[in-house]
């Protein structure tokens, strides 16, 4: 059974810092991996999707990497801003016709 773990569970950083969020998964034979953002009381917003054949994806100040062999992904946020404060969730899909399996998320606070 695929399990997804996110460390740390919570993180507080001063504005302007670069930071890394970690995600690990137990079954390396994944189809894709997605990073989401969830603001309090809201649904999830997709940030980046990495296909199994890819090593990384970038969007603005966000960069996600994937190392399937070690079962790890990282989300790098450059020059963090208070507006980045949210919970970040990692999710993996084992095949094209299986549902996403989510980690419990990392709650990020960026302090002005």
Partner 1 sequence: GAGVSQSPSNKVTEKGKDVELRCDPISGHTALYWYRQSLGQGLEFLIYFQGNSAPDKSGLPSDRFSAERTGGSVSTLTIQRTQQEDSAVYLCASSPWLGNTIYFGEGSWLTVV
- Cβ neighbors of 80 (< 8 A, separation 6 or more) are 13, 15, 16, 17, 18, 19, 108, 110
How far apart are the C-alpha atoms of 89 and 99, rounded to whole Å?
15
By rule CB under 8 A, what string of x and - marks binding of each residue 70-89 to partner 1? -------------------x
Is residue 93 a contact point for partner 1 (CB under 8 A)? yes
Give the contact letters, 4-43, x = binds to partner 1 (CB under 8 A), - = no: ---------------------------xx-x-x-----xx
User: What whole-number distance in Å separates Cα of residue 76 and Cα of residue 97?
Assistant: 28
Task: By CB under 8 A, name the binding residues for partner 1.
Answer: 31-32, 34, 36, 42-46, 49, 89, 91, 93, 95-105
């Amino acid at each position: 059974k695929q399990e997804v773990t996110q460390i740390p569970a919570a993180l507080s950083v001063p504005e302007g810092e670069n930071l890394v969020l970690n995600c690990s998964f137990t079954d390396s034979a994944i189809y894709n991996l997605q990073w989401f953002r969830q603001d309090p009381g809201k649904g999830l917003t997709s940030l980046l999707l990495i296909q199994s054949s890819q090593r990384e994806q970038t969007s603005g100040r966000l960069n996600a990497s994937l190392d399937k062999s070690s079962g790890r992904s990282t989300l790098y946020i450059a020059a963090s801003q208070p507006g980045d404060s949210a919970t970040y969730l990692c999710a993996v899909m084992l095949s094209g016709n299986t549902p996403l399996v989510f980690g419990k998320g990392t709650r990020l606070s960026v302090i002005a």
